[in-house]
Amino acid sequence: MSEPTILQPGLLLVLSAPSGAGKTTLARQLLKETPQAHFSISVTTRRPRGKEQEGVDYHFVDVATFQSKIERGEFVEWAEVHGHFYGSPQSTVDMARAQRGVAIFDIDVQGGQAIKRKHPDAVLIFVLPPSMEELERRLRDRQTDSDETIRRRMLAARSEMERGISAYDYVVVNDDFERAYSELRAVVVAEGCRRGRVDLSRLKLGVG
């Protein structure tokens, strides 16, 4: 997107999906094309996998460090997912609010719902795979997870989808990537035009 939309008071965008549906790929593309967007780098106790880098994909910490961050109130939300702890930094929300930017959270449904409870203006988008077969194929082709992990993720997928579909504001089906991405972008553009988000005080109209 070209000129930054005038966002007031910032846009908190949550992307969730069953693992392997493509939300990280969609989030990264949105980030590349949205100058005022920041990716929320979660803190996790799971180990890095593949080419993941500290401070880029996640902040990787041990359980004791994670617990001290909870105690210091450093998370807007945190949860246990697939046997590991994950938390979204409160500082990402504060930055989006202060800079009137877009914060993109790539988190699970319980995390999305927790953010919405604290920040009712957050926008929750759920990404669906076109089929269970395709979801499993993507997990296998990614070559980052063991058979056991894939089995666990496939088991979790159905309940995650049911919860996401009923609790989220938007649903994007990621079959053809370009189409799915253009739908995601359309949501971001539309949300930026919501009454209350357009900063009328910057315009010389004498209204608002």
Ligand X SMILES: Nc1nc2c(ncn2[C@@H]2O[C@H](COP(=O)(O)OP(=O)(O)O)[C@@H](O)[C@H]2O)c(=O)[nH]1
Tell me: is residue 120 an annotated ligand-binding position: no
54 - beta bridge partners?
Answer: 58
Report the residue from 11, 37, 107, 184 that binds ligand X according to the rule CB under 6 A: 107
Asked if 45 is part of the footprint of ligand X (rule: CB under 6 A), the reply reads no
What token pair was written down for 64?
A: 């004791």
CB of 43 to ligand ADP, least distance (A): 17
Tell me: is residue 24 an annotated ligand-binding position: yes
Among ligand ADP, ligand X, none, residue 79 binds (CB under 5-8 Å by kind): ligand X
Between 108 and 192, whose beta carbon lies closer to ligand ADP? Answer: 108
| Residues 180-199 within binding reach of ligand ADP (CB under 6 A) | 180
Report the residue from 8, 24, 90, 99 that binds ligand X according to the rule CB under 6 A: 24
Residues binding ligand X: number (CB under 6 A): 16
For every residue of the chain, which 3-state class applies, written as one string? CCCCCCECCCEEEEEECCCCCCHHHHHHHHHHHCCCEEECCCEECCCCCCCCCECCCEEECCHHHHHHHHHCCCEEEEEEECCEEEEEEHHHHHHHHHHCCEEEEECCHHHHHHHHHHCCCCEEEEEECCCHHHHHHHHHHHCCCCHHHHHHHHHHHHHHHHHHHHHCCEEEECCCHHHHHHHHHHHHHHHHCCCCCECHHHCCCCCC
In this structure, the dihedral spanned by the alpha carbons of residues 139, 142, 146 and 151, taken in order and rounded to 10 degrees, is 0
CB of 202 to ligand X, least distance (A): 33
Binding mask 125-164 for ligand ADP (x = CB under 6 A): -------------x--xx----------------------
Between 11 and 107, whose beta carbon lies closer to ligand X? Answer: 107
Which span sits near ligand X by CB under 6 A: 61-69, 73-81, 96-104, 187-195? Answer: 73-81
* Residues of the binding site for ATP: 17-24
Contact positions vs ligand ADP (CB under 6 A): 17, 19-25, 138, 141-142, 174, 177, 180
